Chains A and B, each alone.
Chain A
């Protein structure tokens, strides 16, 4: 997954080799997050900068960006957009499906007296919406007090 690194000897003219994040094979997501989100913003003559790009390409940006992040910012309309939510819907359905199956199993076990009451109750309740779980996990995996975010500008 990691492409060869450009050989460098510390001076620009002598530098050669792939540059700019693996050249033509660079991951589109990596490129888009840089060319759309980063770089210097100057109002050109065609007034479609910053805010316009923010708003108009949000569907595309969501293909790249964290859905959790967008939700944190209160953006969640795509969940109602069938074109975008197919994956989420699948996840939801499979969770609902799993939930139902687990509930049935627990019920069956209780009837058969093989399961102490409520011992594994949390297994049943747990399949809450996946996003909630993911958000909390993502937070735990972010141990950085000194972090600074510049990507909101």
Chain B
């Protein structure tokens, strides 16, 4: 037997003892079964992880390994998703690790009130991601050079083509601003809070176009369909801009309460 530690995924309220069922048979990090550490009505989802992989130095090294990180991140997300299907959860940040379950219980005991308060605020809300992409001419393979006016030399035709390209790109960014405004307006009718993520422009950001807006909205469950439909409508009629909606997510981006006033929801 290798020594293990306790990996904590999320905090939830489980007053009717139904959450354990949601976790049964679900592989957690390192494919270990997930169980609940309980303190009163509150629970933390936990699974054992090999000590040698999650001690400080090993963990540091592992976090630099994208393959390892992906498998842990997906397992973390899988467990949180399974819980979120049944109840409101407070996701903990990746790799929150305790020496044993008793230490998890102590942590839960010490913070019970704060957790309970935030869980109540998030009850019956889900998170939705909204990304806006600009499909620049470079990215969308427009028909190459416009048929050059007959009286232009090749050199000038080239330059005028370059200028046209640049203008098309500027138009696309202007359209993106317009779409961002419309998304915000649409969202205000449904969402109660927003968090802005960094635009995704790295190697992992797939999909054509350049991501310019990457936001998460907290939406009451009853508003989810309306939110999604209205937000997707924001790009209608604009060809250079794409809106992508992802979700529902567990309220990762809202687990920590905001320091500022929540977004005011407009009267319907």
- Measured CB to CB, the residues of A under 8 A from B are 1-2, 5-6, 8, 10, 12-13, 15-16, 19-24, 26-42, 44-50, 52-53, 56-57, 59-60, 62-69, 87, 105-106, 108-109, 112, 114-115, 120, 123, 134, 137-138, 140-144, 147-151, 153
Contacts and interface: CB of A to CB of B under 8 A. Distances in A.
B56 A20 contact: no
A45 B93 contact: no
A3 B195 CA distance: 22
Given A20-B77, A26-B246, A66-B198, A143 B181 contact: yes
Contact of B203 (A50, A63, A112): A63
B73 interface: yes
Contact of B94 (A23, A26, A39, A140): A39
B87 A12 contact: yes
Nearest to B131: A30
A109 B180 contact: no
A64 B204 contact: yes
B127 to A, nearest CB: 8
Contacts of A35: 73, 76-77, 91, 93-94, 252
A44 B194 CA distance: 28
B107 interface: yes
Counting chain B residues whose Cβ lies within 8 A of the other chain, the interface size class is: 35 or more
B73 A31 contact: yes
Nearest to B195: A150
B160 to A, nearest CB: 9
A92 to B, nearest CB: 16
B40 interface: no
B206 to A, nearest CB: 7
The main secondary structure of chain A at its interface with chain B is loop
A56 B180 contact: no
A87 B201 CA distance: 12
Contacts of A52: 60
Nearest to A20: B81
A40 B92 contact: yes
Contacts of B212: 137-138, 141-142
Given A53-B94, A64-B205, 9 more contacts: A2-B244, A35-B94, A37-B197, A45-B103, A64-B200, A109-B156, A142-B213, A150-B253, A151-B198
A22 B153 contact: no
Contacts of B70: 28
6 tightest Cβ-Cβ pairs between the two chains A and B: A20-B81, A34-B252, A29-B204, A39-B93, A39-B91, A141-B212
Interface string B101-141: 00100010001000000000000100001001010000000
B250 interface: yes
A42 B96 contact: yes
Nearest to B214: A33
